[in-house]
Chains A and B, each alone.
Chain A
Amino acid sequence: MALPKEVYKALKDIVGSENISDDPALLDSYRYSLAHTAIHLGPYYDTFTPRGAAVLLPGSTGEVQAIVRLCNEHKIKFKASSTFWSAQGYPSEDDTIQLDMRRMDRILEIDERNMFAVVEPGVIGATLQAEAMKVGLNTHIAGSGCSCSVLAGATSYFGSGPSNLYGGWHYENLLGAEWVMPTGDLFRIGSLGSGCGWFCGEGPGPSMRGIARGFLGAKGAMGVFTKCAIKLFAWPGPESLPVEGTVPAYRVSLPDNFRAYTVAFPSWKAWADAAYLIWDTGIGYLAHRQFNMFGRELKYAMVKILTDPSKTLGDLEELLEDPEVQRVTEASKRDFQIVLAGMTPRDLAWQERAFDEILARTAGWKVEAMNQPDVADWSLLYLLRLGHKNLNLVFGGSYDGCFGLLGTADYGTTHVEESGQLKKEWEEQGAVVQAGGDCTMGPIGGQGGGGTCLWENFTCFDPYERESVEGTRALFDAATKLGLARGWGVGMEKWNAQCRGPDGRTTPKEERDRIHLSAPQPSVFRYQHKIRRAFNPNDLGDAYYETLDDEAD
């Protein structure tokens, strides 16, 4: 439905005519397919998020405030997104205004000594990292990759990725922030509010950052973040990445203080032992089980394709027949990737020795084929920049994760094999890519210093084929069932089912209530309800901010 004329005009007056549109075709480029990517609720064939009422491209905090105030005046829902790679950034209800934050894309400051940057929503991991590297710093990049907004990951969603281990996950890295609250009021969080700069996100007193960002963020349902400060960390490498190679097999050859290893272990217990030893010893710049996302059986063949510009997916079957590929595949079943970065030559020497000792104690090994210079240099670049995340979708165009066991290294390693087994059985039916069941990937260190991991089992399918989409959903239903039966809880395949339903719109209240009431601690959502009522009085957000009202029991 169109916005009332006078409202549209008022919005146009705020942002300028070139930064607003309600053209139906243009609006349709702001709809997300529910047969797609990391939506964590379906997938559902040929279903899209609802069309927005208008799209606006605000250019300043003042404009955002004016828009939000106007929305309050007219009780119009709005949803801001910065880089638009997940369904949660799109409207869930009719007549919602979509804010595309892309024009606010400045890096306002990089404080070299105090190691933080101040960014606007449109700044992505790649650009911030490139600028930080010029002054010997680096930024954490969420697992979704460097195409994503730094601010979105830090303020509004999860923000976990391979460099959690050393770089801290974005929850931890978020410092001061500027937030246009759902009412349009401006809240400068932390030291910023006291006029003391960006360096601290907590306080004064009880940290009110807690209403804006918990374990997860508000996913665009509670106002708009317009700036934030992000903690950076040391980059002991060159000012820019000396990239070589032919597209897409780019690789980087860095000075001798970097190592990128793929290592594997004889058992999951040994794998977990290694993770604990790495954390206890305090080594590693980033660590991730990365390339297993292609699947236990396909990963090395895929690496062969990706590191050779003359190869394509069409070469996959032949590669899988290659005895050498088979040997490496077998040797890297229970693997992960780790990058060591020495702040000094001595530091690297010590880390290397300590890492070798860890491998010796756990009977682990370096997967030599992965550590050949060209492959290791490709892997190093991949992991540092995280600029190939669209490979998640390389096979059939869609992927979503299932299970997503989240917890200590012992927890996931206890159950990963069983979850993979279930998936393998379903793979045989043909709806999803047959990749070996265990396509789990995730960080070795879910937060700074380690301590937790995530096992997301990648499931790749074709969004264009109904059978594939529906077969994937059947697999996900089975995954949820197994998760509940085993006490793992509902897996990430349904993480957002309480927010958006099969029709792409807000999940009906009864269903939301049912899900929230079955949570280990329903009061979490009751408090969120109270906070939402207090700070979003006109309820101008969608159900991605999860609530349970007093009536529900």
Chain B
Amino acid sequence: MNAKKARLAEIVGPDHVIDDPGIGESFTLDRTVRPAKRPSFKVRPKTVEQVREIVLWANETLTPLVPVSSGAPHLRGDTLPSVPEAVIVDLAGMKRILKIDRRNRLALLEPGVTYSQLQPELQKEGLRVIMPLLPRANKSVIASLLEREPPMSPRYQWNLLEPLRSLEIVWGNGDRFYSGSGTFRGEREEDWQQGLVPVQGPGPGQLDFYKFVSAAQGSMGIVTWASVKCEVHPEFRKLFLVPGERLADLIDFTYRLLRFRFGDELFLVNDACLAYILAQDEDKAVSLRNSLPPWTAVVGITGGQVLPREKVQARQQDIQELAQQSGLTLASALRGCHEGELQALLLNASAEPYWKLRYKGGAQEIFFLSTLDRAAGYVATMQAAAGEQQYPISDIGIYVQPVHQGVGCHCEFILPFDRGSQAESVRTEALFRDASHRLFGQKAFFSRPYGIWADMVYGADERTKMVTQKVKDIFDPNHLLNPGKLCF
């Protein structure tokens, strides 16, 4: 053990090797079947060279590594070691914003950079990055994008990985690699000047390397920087709330907006979800839930660069008309929610405690991809399952986020529960399992298969499993990166 520690200390410096770091607070219910194993060390590299040396060392010593970029709480269990004696590679300290290129709207980030850190810096340059819904304050931008967390603004997603572009990757075999146009990483200022910049995501070549590290839960390679496509920081923005009695009432309207790519932020939430977003404590959450409309479509309009005011005006009028055609109204306030208040929240990371945990201290998520027309069916299934497990239906937070310009949508059920209560934990876990399988049976695509979902999806799709395993063998031949996840 000491030899290991000594070698790690040599690589990252003694201050950056933490003995027996513990498994940390775990929020996933999955843990009962897959108990996390205590890691031996946590190391905090600062450079890609250090990361590479750690990986090479791990290959020599056959030590499992678990890469982590964001801070706690970790909700999905992906960063909990599944095997004993792993070393956590904590990248949170690699926090440099290496470059912001206004003209090409690119930001080059290390994995420890969080949304809260990045957005103000971008704003100084007149830029912003599209965000997922209320990420944790310590959520790594790169980790979020690698996990394919859906951003709130589907219109900028020409593909599902947007706005992620080029990466620097240290593969599980220790090889340092640039994906996309990452070989143009702008180490020389003149490259940036003449436009030789890491603007491409795909490739290079005939493989799509960044796809292999996406939703891989750190099991293929460790990303040490990424370029991220930014949007113009809007001079004007407005947020509208469109209430509906049933989810189905809002679907048609949402499709219309997606068809025209109107609306910047665009998503649907139920009363509970919106209450969890807005409320700071349990009581407030309950009262809000009771006063909010059952469903709300949240529609943001932004205008930046050329004639922003005119754009916002035109969009507002058009969206108003589209809402009318669907028998809906655009509101700037609902009972319990004002547009300004919500907008302020959405433009930032979540305040502490993390919004999904505020109501009951714990929460189990179920999320997957599908198409918008199926969303209402999933809600019914979820509610039926909750009823059977005697889980309070009114507690279920529901978030429907169109992705990839409307081709699909992310459906998310948030199941708050009291982690202190054995009964609630057991009940919620039972619901989680039951609902996951039922939803999968109804074509819910668990594209980011955490925990038990991995067995579910790979069990049903032998070919994808076989292909994924072969790819793993190439990039991480000793299976050292986050073993026990996915299908390896």
Direct A–B touching, Cβ under 8 Å: yes
Given A202-B214, A521-B177, A528:B194 Cβ within 8 A: no
Q: Is the C-beta of B175 less than 8 angstroms from some C-beta in chain A?
A: yes
Contact A210 B371 (CB under 8 A): no
Q: Mark A101-114, 1 if CB is under 8 A from B, else 0.
A: 00000000001011
Q: Is the C-beta of B373 less than 8 angstroms from some C-beta in chain A?
A: yes
Q: Mark A523-553, 1 if CB is under 8 A from B, else 0.
A: 1110110110011000000000110000000
Contact A204 B159 (CB under 8 A): no
Contact A194 B206 (CB under 8 A): no
A208, A277, A521: which has the most chain B beta carbons within 10 Å? A208
Given A185-B463, A209-B208, A204:B447 Cβ within 8 A: yes
Q: Is the C-beta of B1 less than 8 angstroms from some C-beta in chain A?
A: no
Contact A204 B445 (CB under 8 A): yes
Please, how many angstroms separate the alpha-carbon atoms of A197 and B371 in the complex? 9
Q: Mark B200-240, 1 if CB is under 8 A from A, else 0.
A: 10111111111111111101100000000100100000000
Given A113-B372, A343-B262, A528:B161 Cβ within 8 A: no
Q: Is the C-beta of B148 less than 8 angstroms from some C-beta in chain A?
A: yes
Cβ-defined partner of A231 (8 Å) among B162, B205, B407, B446: B407
Contact B213 A186 (CB under 8 A): no
Looking at B57-65, B111-119, B380-388, B467-475, the stretch in contact with chain A turns out to be B467-475
Q: Mark A271-298, 1 if CB is under 8 A from B, else 0.
A: 0000011011110000000000000000
Given A114-B372, A191-B447, A410-B194, A211:B467 Cβ within 8 A: yes
Q: Is the C-beta of A314 less than 8 angstroms from some C-beta in chain B?
A: no
Question: Closest residue to B264 on the A side, CB-wise?
Answer: A282
Size of the chain B interface, CB-CB below 8 angstroms? 95
Question: Closest residue to A175 on the B side, CB-wise?
Answer: B407
B199 to chain A: which residues have CB within 8 Å?
A: 407-408, 451-452
Contact A168 B306 (CB under 8 A): no
B193, B197, B214, B305: which has the most chain A beta carbons within 10 Å? B305
Contact B205 A114 (CB under 8 A): no
B317 to chain A: which residues have CB within 8 Å?
A: 346
Contact B160 A210 (CB under 8 A): no
Within residues 346 to 395 of chain A, which ones have a CB less than 8 A from any CB in chain B? 346-347, 349-350, 353-354, 357-358, 361
Q: Is the C-beta of B183 less than 8 angstroms from some C-beta in chain A?
A: yes
**Min CB–CB distance A363 → chain B (angstroms):** 15
A546 to chain B: which residues have CB within 8 Å?
A: 205-206
**Min CB–CB distance B210 → chain A (angstroms):** 8
Contact B305 A187 (CB under 8 A): no
Contact A281 B306 (CB under 8 A): yes
B262 to chain A: which residues have CB within 8 Å?
A: 343
Question: Closest residue to B464 on the A side, CB-wise?
Answer: A193
Looking at A4-12, A213-221, A506-514, the stretch in contact with chain B turns out to be A213-221
Q: Is the C-beta of A3 less than 8 angstroms from some C-beta in chain B?
A: no
Q: Mark A450-467, 1 if CB is under 8 A from B, else 0.
A: 011000000000000000
Question: Closest residue to A534 on the B side, CB-wise?
Answer: B470
Question: Closest residue to A544 on the B side, CB-wise?
Answer: B206
Contact A344 B457 (CB under 8 A): no
Please, how many angstroms separate the alpha-carbon atoms of A279 and B229 in the complex? 12
Please, how many angstroms separate the alpha-carbon atoms of A190 and B321 in the complex? 37
A203, A213, A234, A358: which has the most chain B beta carbons within 10 Å? A203
Please, how many angstroms separate the alpha-carbon atoms of A358 and B307 in the complex? 10
Question: Closest residue to B477 on the A side, CB-wise?
Answer: A530
Q: Mark A173-210, 1 if CB is under 8 A from B, else 0.
A: 00100000000011111110111110111111111111
A205 to chain B: which residues have CB within 8 Å?
A: 215-217, 447-449, 454, 457-458, 468, 486-487
Question: Closest residue to A203 on the B side, CB-wise?
Answer: B447
Contact B305 A113 (CB under 8 A): no
Question: Closest residue to B322 on the A side, CB-wise?
Answer: A344
Contact A194 B457 (CB under 8 A): yes
Contact B203 A215 (CB under 8 A): yes
Please, how many angstroms separate the alpha-carbon atoms of A451 and B105 in the complex? 8
A172 to chain B: which residues have CB within 8 Å?
A: 158-159
Question: Closest residue to B202 on the A side, CB-wise?
Answer: A215
**Min CB–CB distance B158 → chain A (angstroms):** 3
Q: Is the C-beta of B6 less than 8 angstroms from some C-beta in chain A?
A: no
**Min CB–CB distance A538 → chain B (angstroms):** 16
Looking at B253-261, B282-290, B327-335, the stretch in contact with chain A turns out to be B253-261
**Min CB–CB distance A205 → chain B (angstroms):** 5
Contact B207 A531 (CB under 8 A): yes
**Min CB–CB distance A261 → chain B (angstroms):** 16
B306 to chain A: which residues have CB within 8 Å?
A: 277, 280-281, 354, 357-358, 361
Question: Closest residue to B370 on the A side, CB-wise?
Answer: A196
Q: Is the C-beta of A396 less than 8 angstroms from some C-beta in chain B?
A: no
Q: Is the C-beta of B304 less than 8 angstroms from some C-beta in chain A?
A: yes
Cβ-defined partner of B159 (8 Å) among A214, A448, A525, A528: A448
Q: Mark B286-312, 1 if CB is under 8 A from A, else 0.
A: 000000000000000000111100110
Contact B259 A191 (CB under 8 A): no
Contact B208 A215 (CB under 8 A): yes
B315 to chain A: which residues have CB within 8 Å?
A: 347
Q: Is the C-beta of B406 less than 8 angstroms from some C-beta in chain A?
A: yes
A528 to chain B: which residues have CB within 8 Å?
A: 205-207
**Min CB–CB distance A526 → chain B (angstroms):** 9
Question: Closest residue to A197 on the B side, CB-wise?
Answer: B443
Contact B103 A196 (CB under 8 A): no
Q: Is the C-beta of B280 less than 8 angstroms from some C-beta in chain A?
A: no
Please, how many angstroms separate the alpha-carbon atoms of A187 and B465 in the complex? 10
Question: Closest residue to B262 on the A side, CB-wise?
Answer: A343
Given A114-B407, A411-B196, A187:B370 Cβ within 8 A: no
Question: Closest residue to B487 on the A side, CB-wise?
Answer: A205
Contact A193 B260 (CB under 8 A): no
Q: Is the C-beta of A426 less than 8 angstroms from some C-beta in chain B?
A: no
Cβ-defined partner of A210 (8 Å) among B158, B208, B259, B318: B208
Q: Is the C-beta of A116 less than 8 angstroms from some C-beta in chain B?
A: yes
Please, how many angstroms separate the alpha-carbon atoms of A89 and B262 in the complex? 40
Q: Is the C-beta of A139 less than 8 angstroms from some C-beta in chain B?
A: no
Given A113-B255, A410-B194, A171:B461 Cβ within 8 A: no
Contact A408 B206 (CB under 8 A): no
Please, how many angstroms separate the alpha-carbon atoms of A523 and B182 in the complex? 13
Question: Closest residue to A189 on the B side, CB-wise?
Answer: B464
Within residues 397 to 429 of chain B, which ones have a CB less than 8 A from any CB in chain A? 404-408
**Min CB–CB distance B30 → chain A (angstroms):** 16
Question: Closest residue to A209 on the B side, CB-wise?
Answer: B211
B392 to chain A: which residues have CB within 8 Å?
A: none
Q: Is the C-beta of B276 less than 8 angstroms from some C-beta in chain A?
A: no
B193 to chain A: which residues have CB within 8 Å?
A: 410
Given A205-B486, A280-B306, A410-B195, A347:B260 Cβ within 8 A: yes
Contact B486 A408 (CB under 8 A): no
Question: Closest residue to A235 on the B side, CB-wise?
Answer: B259
Q: Is the C-beta of A447 less than 8 angstroms from some C-beta in chain B?
A: yes
Please, how many angstroms separate the alpha-carbon atoms of A205 and B463 in the complex? 13
**Min CB–CB distance B205 → chain A (angstroms):** 4
Contact B158 A202 (CB under 8 A): no
Contact B259 A234 (CB under 8 A): yes
Within residues 90 to 110 of chain B, which ones have a CB less than 8 A from any CB in chain A? 103-105
**Min CB–CB distance A86 → chain B (angstroms):** 15
> Mind listing 7 A-B residue pairs with CB under 8 Å?
A114-B406, A202-B215, A343-B318, A354-B311, A414-B194, A523-B177, A527-B207
Other A-B pairs, 16, CB within 8 Å; known A191-B447, A411-B194: A191-B445, A194-B445, A200-B160, A200-B445, A205-B217, A205-B486, A206-B215, A206-B468, A207-B212, A210-B208, A210-B212, A218-B206, A280-B306, A347-B315, A350-B307, A410-B104
Closest CB pairs A-B (n = 8) = A448-B158, A215-B203, A410-B195, A210-B211, A210-B208, A411-B195, A203-B447, A408-B195
